Every structure is written in C-alpha cells, then in structure tokens.
C-alpha cells in the first residue's frame, strides 16, 4: 500500500499577483423551489455544454442537485482567475447566472483553489 506524501500547501495571498495563475473553482450554491429544479438543472447543463466549447480557460463543470431538490450547486473550474473573470462577460454565462439568481431564495458564491485531492485507493 502506498502512503500519500503530505506537502504543505501555501495559502492564497491576494497581494501576490503570482497566485492569480493557479486554477480556480467557482462555486454557486442556490436555494430553490423544488418545482423549479428540473428547468434550472436542464438550463444549467445545456448552457454549460454550449458555452464551455468556446470559453478560454474552461476546464470542467459539475452541476449538483440535493436529494430534496431544494439546493443546486454549479461548480466550474478554470485555468486561472483571468479566464474565470473573462467568462463573466460571456452573454450565455451572464444569462445563466441571472436566471439562477432570479429563481433562488438565497445565493452563495465563492472562488476556491484546489489544495489537495485524495484519489480512490485501488484494491
């Protein structure tokens, strides 16, 4: 069995411009009416599938829906903060964010950097 090597991860310092070159993950979490879930889910997946083809720096996306259909999370991963920032000006992304905001009772929005990942251990 292979042991994972722990390396200390530097914290992000917004004063250090060099940190802007790291990949970032955008997370939008919304509380919704369960009856809106099917339409919002379809709209988010369709928009991301179309827009991701042409958005510079786009790496991946996931759309999650809670089992009670009351919370939806849209996670997108970008090569760096600049690519993420430019994506905010894309008309399709702008419409998606507006639609999610208008249909939600609360919106939480955060930007993260990946500080570690634990892969599934092979048997």
Q: What is the pLDDT of residue 121?
A: 86
> In this structure, how many other beta carbons lie within 10 angstroms of the beta carbon of residue 109?
12
Q: Which pLDDT tens digit goes with each residue over 5-27? A: 566 655 555 555 456 788 999 99
**pLDDT given for residue 47 in this prediction:** 94
Residues 10, 24, 57, 82: is their CA dihedral positive or negative?
A: negative
Q: Please name the CATH architecture into which domain 28-112 falls.
A: 2-Layer Sandwich (3.30)
CA–CA–CA angle 13, 14, 15 (5° rounding):
90
pLDDT per residue as tens digits for the range 43-89: 999 999 998 898 999 999 999 999 999 999 999 999 999 999 999 89
- Per domain, the residue ranges of the chain are 28-112
Report yes or no on whether pTM surpasses 0.75. Answer: yes
pLDDT for residue 117: 81
């Amino acid at each position: 069995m292979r042991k994972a090597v722990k390396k200390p991860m530097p914290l992000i310092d917004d004063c250090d411009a060099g940190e802007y070159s790291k990949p970032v993950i955008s997370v939008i979490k919304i509380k919704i009416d369960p009856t809106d879930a099917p339409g919002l889910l379809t709209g988010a997946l369709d928009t991301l599938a179309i827009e991701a083809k042409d958005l510079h720096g786009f790496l991946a996306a996931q759309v999650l829906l809670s089992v009670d259909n009351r919370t939806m999370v849209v996670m997108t991963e970008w090569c760096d903060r600049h690519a993420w920032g430019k994506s905010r000006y894309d008309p399709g992304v702008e419409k998606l964010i507006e639609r999610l905001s208008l249909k939600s009772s609360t919106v939480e929005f955060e930007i993260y950097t990946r500080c570690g990942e634990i892969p599934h251990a092979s048997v």
